[in-house]
Amino acid sequence: MVKVDRDLCVGLGNCVALVPTVFGFDDEGKSVVLDSASVADDILLEAAMSCSYDAIIILDDEGNQVYPKPNIA
Ligand code: SF4
């Protein structure tokens, strides 16, 4: 699963340019997830890594965050 943290997104659009079937802009210029099922997980990860603001969050099937790597103290 992929989601966008709206508080971190600044709307630069790397994700939208890279995978326009998955990400789009809402009327505030923030990225939203349109359809994450249309591409493979490695493409979602590539999109997340393209975001300089770590606004794209990847979760595994159990809901655990896999990207960005959670800080484990
Ligand atoms: S790359 Fe990151 S900051 Fe840019 S629009 Fe996508 S989620 Fe927002």
Q: What are the sequence ranges of the domains in the chain?
A: 2-67
Half-sphere exposure at residue 11, Cβ-oriented, CA atoms within 13 angstroms:
6
Nearest CA to ligand 1 atom 8: 9
- Cβ 2 under 6 angstroms from ligand 1: no
- 4-10: average pLDDT: 97
CA of 8, closest atom in ligand 1: 3
Distance (Å) from CA 25 to ligand 1 centroid: 9
Q: How confident is the model at residue 71 (pLDDT cuts 50, 70, 90)?
A: confident
Q: What is the pLDDT of residue 73?
A: 64
Look up the pTM and report it.
Answer: 0.92
CATH architecture for the domain at 2-67: 2-Layer Sandwich (3.30)
Q: What is the pLDDT of residue 70?
A: 80
* pLDDT tens string 8-49: 999 999 999 999 999 999 999 999 999 988 899 999 999 999
The span from the CA of 37 to the CA of 27, in Å, is: 23
Cα 72 from chain centre: 21
